[in-house]
Amino acid sequence: MRDYFIFQYEDTVSSKEKLKVTVLFVHQTKVISQNSLAQELNHFFQEHSITDKLVVIVPKYLDQDSLEFFKTSRDITFQRVPGKSADYFEKCLMIYEYDSDGSFRLEKTVKLTPQRRSKLTPMRRSKLTP
């Protein structure tokens, strides 16, 4: 069963280059399982290639723990994205939050240093994945 809307498109309007973009749209108030989200992304990327940008669109009402799946524990969430480089998320990941009026706000993404990654990943894995 698919719980998320994931698609790709070629952006020829807002970019001078033809950028390929993957969009992950989340509508739930809570992501129940980081593992099932990662598996759904894995299934998608078995049929699609990595793109120039990865855009995650989340509702303002998404709980904070679920939002962290796309920020501090993104290495776990997107672990099965094929061909990503070590700095892919710093360069390509964009997280937008939408509200009930349909307004979008770009979330500030967290730049993970190796020290921060090693401290957060085990904690997030044990706390958030069933």
Place of tokens 């992950």: 24
Token pair in block for residue 48:
């699609």
- Distance between CA atoms of residues 62 and 4, nearest Å: 14
| Residue in 128, 53, 129, 66 with CA at minimum distance from that of residue 97 | 66
Indicate the domain borders of the chain.
5-128
Q: List per-residue pLDDT tens for the chain, 130 residues long.
A: 588 999 999 998 887 888 999 999 999 999 999 999 999 999 999 999 999 999 999 999 999 999 999 999 999 999 989 889 989 999 999 999 999 998 999 986 656 555 444 444 444 444 444 4
Provide the pLDDT for residue 112.
57
